[in-house]
Amino acid sequence: MRETLENRIRVYRAEHKLSQGELADIIGVSRKTISTIEVGRFVPSTVIALKLARHFGVSVEDIFSLSSPSGATDT
């Protein structure tokens, strides 16, 4: 059974009124990195995940979660 990494970056970006480019500049990565994380194509490193969490003022688990094919989500 393969689990997938889901994220709520888009939601937090909307709340903070940030574009992908602006968030990328704040975190110190490229816009492509943010966009590929958002769509689930790229699993970020722990460092990037922690930087995102720190910027939004939430825990890493609030942004990222594992979901199984059955639909259950583990945070």
Partner 1 sequence: MTKDNTLSMAEQADKYLKKVALGTFCIAIAFIFRAGKMLVEPDLAFYFQAGQMFFGFSVLLFLMPATLRFIKLRAENQACKEEDGYISQMFQKAGFHAFQFTFLFLTAIDVFAVDFFEAHSVELLLRIAVAGLLGSFSISFYRLVHINDDDDDLEESIQA
Residue numbers at the binding site for partner 1 (CB under 8 A): 13-14, 17-21, 24-25, 28-33, 35-39, 41-42, 44-45, 47-48
Closest-CA residue to 27 (of 5, 6, 57, 47): 47
Task: Output the smallest distance, CB 4 to partner 1, in A.
Answer: 16
For residue 67, the minimal CB distance to partner 1 (Å) is 19
Q: Which is nearer to partner 1, 45 or 68 (CB)?
A: 45
Task: Kindly list the strands in the beta sheet with 73-74, ordered across the sheet, starting from the edge strand earlier in the chain.
Answer: 4-7, 64-67, 73-74
H or E element at residue 62: helix 60-63
